Structures are given as structure tokens and as C-alpha cells.
């Protein structure tokens, strides 16, 4: 994207210093991983920002959200009648803009994941739901906080030797949940006096607090010992066979377009 045009336009509207922000600067912003949902993501970003309702949607909701937008446009714009094109500006629309009414577009998970949804999409949905449950336990319920405070107050942790390492343990597949968890752990660290020595706060959070928080949460939620929960953590995200098949299919298709073979 050519940002110079937008910078010039911004200066025309209002002189002064402007700060460029990206999606990575917005906490909890749902991420787009596929290339055919750009327009719907942009619509939902805009709707959530102007109404102030928060980003309560995920990539797996895109098929349903597409249907919702189509119905909304057909109903509000009266597509079959030319003379009522702007009759959609109702009290409901004003309430949406003012933030006093939350738009309804989500469907309960049991209905959203139907027989018409591909298996690999359902697998992503199930993993995302499980990851959100894990992060909610840590962040919203503060289920791991007592354990984390113990580590910051000197409780033995095998992860402390990784503070200066470049290896960052990965368990959460969702960037959104990673951001939520990291922001929470940074708050815990900043608000807790500790005698532990480290030079890089980000490395310390990623290499010590992230594994400690997730392993403890896994042990509680899955009724595992800490050793068993650690093995689950180290195994990383569990991908369904259908997801691997879909990934291979996309790679094969791309290589075929480039005139190369897939082995």
C-alpha cells in the first residue's frame, strides 16, 4: 500500500504529526489467514470500531458473516425497490452507530459448525475454541496468577535457564490469543516486584511466564499432573489430518501453477 498518498491526504485534513498504526497495534484484532476474506474483515473491523462493541468474531465465522451482510443489505436497502434505497437509516441503525445496540451476527457454535462446514474448518474451530478456553482461564479467571506470583517470588522454575535463549516455546496457534496472553503477562510482571534477573522483558515473558502459565492452566483444566501438562505444552498445537491434507492441496496447487512438481 502506498502510504504517501494517505499521509498527504491527512495533512490536508488536519495539519500536525500523524502516527501510522497497523493491525498489530490493536489488541485482540482478529487475524486473517486466507486471501479471500479481505473485504469482509474490513467491514467487520469498521463496524466493530465505530460501534465500540469489540472484535467479537473469528475467521471461522466468515461464511456466516457473509450471509449476514447479504441479508442486511437486502433488507435495509430494499434491493427490489429503487425508491427506498436509503430507507435503512432507522432507529436501529442509529443505535448501532452510537454503540447502544450490539449487532447480532453470531450463531451458537453447535449451529455454526454444521455438516456443510469442511472438516478442516471444523478442526480449526475446535482448536480455536479450546485455545480461547485456556487463555480465558489464565486471563479472565486469573487461574494461573498465584502460580506465576510464586515464580516471580523465587519459586523454582525449569524455564528460567531459557531467559537468555532465542527459543520461544509455542503452544497457542491463534495470534489473537497470543496477544491477549502476552498483554496479561506483561501486566502481571510490571505489577509484581521480583528479585529475578533478566535484561529482556519480552524474552522473559515468552520463555518463562508463558510456559509456566499455560502448563499450570493445562494441568487444572485437563486434570493432569504438571509433568503431564508440560508434555502436552511441548508437543505444541495439535493439527487434524484434514488440515494437513488441505495444506498439502494448496501447496500442490501453487506448485502446479508454477510448473513444478509436488513430492
Is-contact 121 60, C-beta < 8 A? yes
Phi, psi of 103 (to 5 degrees): -65, 140
Q: What is the pLDDT of residue 98?
A: 56
As a whole-number percent, the residues of the chain with pLDDT over 90 amount to: 26
Average pLDDT, the chain: 77
Residue 134 has pLDDT above 70, yes or no: yes
* pLDDT tens per residue across span 171-183: 888 888 888 999 9
* pLDDT tens per residue across span 87-119: 444 565 556 555 566 555 544 444 444 456 677
Is-contact 143 220, C-beta < 8 A? yes
More confident residue, 217 or 21: 217
Is-contact 176 28, C-beta < 8 A? yes
Chain position carrying cell 482448536? 127
Phi, psi of 202 (to 5 degrees): -65, -45
Amino acid at each position: 500500500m502506498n502510504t504517501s498518498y494517505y499521509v498527504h491526504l491527512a495533512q490536508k485534513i488536519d495539519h500536525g504529526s500523524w502516527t501510522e498504526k497497523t493491525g498489530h497495534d490493536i489488541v485482540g484484532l482478529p487475524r486473517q489467514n486466507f486471501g479471500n476474506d479481505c473485504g469482509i474483515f474490513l467491514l467487520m473491523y469498521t463496524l466493530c470500531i465505530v460501534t465500540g462493541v469489540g472484535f467479537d468474531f473469528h475467521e471461522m465465522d466468515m461464511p456466516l458473516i457473509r450471509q449476514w451482510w447479504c441479508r442486511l443489505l437486502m433488507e435495509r436497502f430494499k434491493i427490489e425497490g429503487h425508491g427506498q434505497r436509503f430507507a435503512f437509516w432507522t432507529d436501529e441503525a442509529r443505535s448501532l452507530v452510537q454503540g447502544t445496540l450490539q449487532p447480532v451476527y453470531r450463531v451458537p457454535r453447535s449451529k455454526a459448525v454444521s455438516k456443510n462446514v469442511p472438516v478442516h474448518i471444523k478442526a480449526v474451530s475446535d482448536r480455536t475454541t479450546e485455545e480461547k478456553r485456556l487463555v480465558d482461564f489464565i486471563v479472565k479467571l486469573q487461574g494461573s496468577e498465584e502460580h506465576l506470583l510464586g515464580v516471580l517470588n523465587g519459586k523454582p522454575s525449569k524455564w528460567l535457564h531459557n531467559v537468555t535463549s532465542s527459543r520461544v516455546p509455542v503452544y497457542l496457534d491463534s495470534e489473537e490469543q497470543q496477544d491477549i496472553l502476552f498483554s496479561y503477562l506483561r501486566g502481571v510482571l510490571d505489577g509484581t516486584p521480583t528479585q529475578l534477573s533478566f535484561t529482556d522483558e519480552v524474552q522473559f515473558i515468552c520463555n518463562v511466564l508463558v510456559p509456566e502459565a499455560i502448563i499450570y492452566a493445562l494441568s487444572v483444566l485437563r486434570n493432569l499432573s504438571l509433568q503431564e501438562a508440560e508434555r502436552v505444552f511441548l508437543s505444541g498445537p495439535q493439527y487434524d489430518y484434514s488440515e494437513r491434507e488441505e495444506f498439502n492441496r494448496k501447496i500442490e496447487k501453487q506448485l502446479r501453477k508454477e510448473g513444478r512438481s509436488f513430492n
